[in-house]
Amino acid sequence: MNPSMFFAVFLLGIQLVSVSSAHYEPATYSREQQEVPASSYNNIYVPREQGEVPTTSSSTNYVPKEQQQVPSSSSYKNDYPEDHNDDQHQDSPHDDHDQTLEGVFTLTVPTFLSEYYAKKPSEDDHYSLSSYHYYQSCPEFEYIVSGKVKEWVGKDKTLAAALLRLHFHDCAVRGCDASILLNHEGSERTASPSKTLRGFEVIDDIKSELEKKCPREVSCADILTAAARDATVEAGGQYWTVDYGRKDGLVSDAKEAESLVPMGRESITDLIEFFQSLGLEVDDLVVLSGAHTIGKSSCESIQYRLFNYSETKSLDSTINPKYADYLQRKCRWATDNYVELDAETPTKFDNEYFVNLIYRKTGLLSTDQLLYSDQRTSNIVKTLATNDRSNTFYQQFKKSMKNLGNVRVLTGPNKGEIRANCNFVNPRY
């Protein structure tokens, strides 16, 4: 090769390298790969892209919702319509919107591996969940679930919140294995944290329809997971794809639910530790608490905050005084009354729950309001309260719900079973 040809080849090489590096994009981060910045032990969450908490959330002057200006759509990376209909949600397993805001949070608290993740891999561990799981065995599965959820929630809107909560209570004890549905003496369902759980009839109805179409194929745990997603969509939240293949557990014990399921009087440390025991993180705790943007609490759960707070104070003074007055009137005599968890937009699945905590001090449960006063979680609350038509919250909620749905799932031929009736384990002959 003569010198001028060598030079030409050399130049071409340099150009190729710079073109390919200009198009290089880092692979999507997994949680484990996320960089823990130097500030990590200050527990400060920063949006990955901006490096600061959005102005609306850090501002101390609260602008009432009606006066808040909705910024133009161009300011958003993801401009999802607020109104959703089913047609818009027919995403394929390949079309997962969850990727788009990957890394809104920078994880800044140390991640502890729970015992669950630390365990040795078993022979069943290679059976993972998949969005194709029912592709052949029950292709109508999601269609049936979403149709039934639509039908029931259409008749009674409060069922959307009930179904979402049911899935959480299921996953909170023994993982997402439908143990909450087993209906026998001493089962989780009979424990005090389950006292006001509702929506069991919806799951039974879905299951009996599925047993007609594809008998013994679809687990109750998968039904609960899909129904929680569809209920969220019915309440105005966004769709996310769900992976399937959970098996149903054989055990359900009220004592476990009594000792594990949080009831609203815990400290943030307790909640963080509980979520970590499920393999979930601090951001999941805060984001998933945003489910309290819909639904109600019984007066019984909050009466102690209003009348019997401590030895010296009858009222929890962290509650907005006007709101406390309203709650006292509503809950003084009737323990069987219910109060909306989100006082501003109780039936709309939006981020107003977080705005309430910051600007109105109207967190109904003490565990709600504490999320803003505790420095480990307050910046996450601020980020989720961002005035972006709930988009930040929606994106994070999808991710955290997927994390919740993966908690200690039973998969593979040697674990659990597919129940014929969600209320009972299959007869052993």
Binding residues for heme b: 292
Query: Binding site residues for Ca(2+), as ranges?
Result: 170, 173, 175, 177, 179, 188, 293, 342, 345, 350
Residue 59 or 158 with smaller CB distance to ligand HEM: 158
Give me the least distance between CB of 162 and ligand HEM, in Å please: 4
The Cα 235–Cα 254 span in angstroms is: 30
The Cα 422–Cα 181 span in angstroms is: 6
Contacts with 408 (C-beta within 8 Å, 6 or more apart), sequence order: 116, 171, 174, 175, 176, 177, 278, 279
CB distance 263 to 193 below 8 Å: yes
Residue 162 or 324 with smaller CB distance to ligand HEM: 162
- The residues that bridge with 296 in the sheet, in sequence order, are 340
Residue 387 or 395 with smaller CB distance to ligand HEM: 395
CB distance 34 to 107 below 8 Å: yes
Q: Which long-range contacts (CB under 8 A, 24 or more apart) does 207-213 make?
A: 207/421, 207/422, 209/144, 209/148, 210/138, 210/141, 210/144, 211/420, 213/138, 213/140, 213/144
Give me the least distance between CB of 110 and ligand HEM, in Å please: 20
Of all residues in the shown chain, the one whose CB is closest to ligand HEM is: 295
Residue 296 or 389 with smaller CB distance to ligand HEM: 296
Give me the least distance between CB of 297 and ligand HEM, in Å please: 4
Residue 254 or 285 with smaller CB distance to ligand HEM: 285
The Cα 291–Cα 108 span in angstroms is: 23
Q: Output the CA–CA distances (angstroms, integers) from residue 30 to 125, 236, 272, 274, in the order listed.
A: 19, 28, 21, 22
Residue 296 or 402 with smaller CB distance to ligand HEM: 296
Residue 297 or 379 with smaller CB distance to ligand HEM: 297
The Cα 80–Cα 238 span in angstroms is: 9
Is 169 one of the catalytic residues? yes
Give me the least distance between CB of 299 and ligand HEM, in Å please: 8
CB distance 408 to 175 below 8 Å: yes
| Rg of the chain over all Cα atoms, to the nearest angstrom | 24
- The residues that bridge with 244 in the sheet, in sequence order, are 130
Residue 249 or 290 with smaller CB distance to ligand HEM: 290
Q: How many CA atoms does the CB half-sphere of 256 hold within 13 Å?
A: 15
The Cα 383–Cα 385 span in angstroms is: 5
CB distance 368 to 341 below 8 Å: yes
User: Would you call 66 helix, strand, or coil by DSSP?
Assistant: helix
Query: Binding site residues, as ranges?
Result: 170, 173, 175, 177, 179, 188, 262, 292-293, 342, 345, 350
Query: Binding site residues for substrate, as ranges?
Result: 262
The Cα 384–Cα 290 span in angstroms is: 9
Residue 208 corresponds to which tokens in the numbers above?
A: 């009996």
Burial level of 32, CB count in 10 A (0-12/13-18/19+)?
Answer: exposed
Q: Output the CA–CA distances (angstroms, integers) from residue 96 to 90, 104, 133, 354, in the order listed.
A: 11, 16, 17, 26
Site residues for ligand HEM per CB under 6 A: 158, 161-162, 164-165, 168, 196, 198, 262-264, 271, 285, 288-289, 291-292, 294-298, 300-301, 341, 365, 367
Q: Which of 89, 133, 167, 169 is catalytic?
A: 169
Q: Which residues are catalytic?
A: 169
